[in-house]
Amino acid sequence: MNKEFLEEYSLFRKLTCEVPSKLDNIPKPPINMECRNCGSTQTFNMINEYYDFHQYLNAGSADEKVRLVYQCQSCRSFTRQFQVYISPDLDFVYKFGQYPEWEIKMDKNLEKTLGKHAKTFRKGLVCESQGYGIGAFAYYRRITEEIIDELLNSISDLIETEHQAEYKAALEETKKTRVAQEKIDLVKDLLPTILRPSGMNPLGVLHSELSEGLHADSDESCLENASHIKDILTFLINQIIQSKEASKQFTTSMKSILEKKSKK
């Protein structure tokens, strides 16, 4: 049970973890979510106990359904509740209920960039919120296929000078196939450093998730793939936009400095 799980995981998406064998030993991480009373993101703390429905506090955790009640620390009135299932072997948990419901909202930059495709992305979010992994994967995969050419073209402006010719050649090759994985495979190793957080290659991971998702045969496995695809697309689009804006601001500032110097 951790912060990310409570804040971001949709219903029925499993978190693989080691759960303490006794309910009173399970941690109560503070979370940061929107408070509808305060109208902003606030810190929430858990105000009840995992063993509320038991007569003793050191009840076993295995195969249990627990309720978590979190209260906003600012207004002290708005609460968020989670219903969580703990596996018999104490090796995973998942949410089977949540109120207010898991927010179906899109990143603003992503929505603007997707344009006419945003509606399809929202359908993926709805499927993900209900634990329909196969449906969510199908929608996110479709989005990837529809925007991959535009996405790869956008990246070209960020490629290091010494790799631009190579990237341009690879980009031309991508036009010979309609398969998203093949397009990504042609350019993923040329991704600029600025788009590789901690040395990781999001295009490489995207390629892997798209391939693995095709062979997944359950909502559970597809849900994990779908969530990763969504996160990667959001990261890439935001990072590309931010990098280009930063470059534009830098260029504008440098021009201003040079103009001032030339007038002296």
**Each residue of 104-163: pLDDT tens digit?**
777 777 788 888 888 888 899 888 888 888 898 889 888 888 888 888 888 888 888 888
- Sequence-ordered list of residues with C-beta below 8 angstroms from that of 130, at least 6 positions apart, any chain: 10, 11
Query: Do 178 and 156 form a contact (C-beta atoms < 8 A)?
Result: no
Q: What is the pLDDT of residue 246?
A: 63
Model's pTM, two decimal places? Answer: 0.65
State the burial class of residue 212 (Cβ atoms within 10 Å of its Cβ: 0-12, 13-18, 19+).
Answer: middle
In the chain the domains, ranked by start, together with CATH numbers, are 3-99 (no CATH), 108-251 (1.20.120)
State the burial class of residue 235 (Cβ atoms within 10 Å of its Cβ: 0-12, 13-18, 19+).
Answer: middle
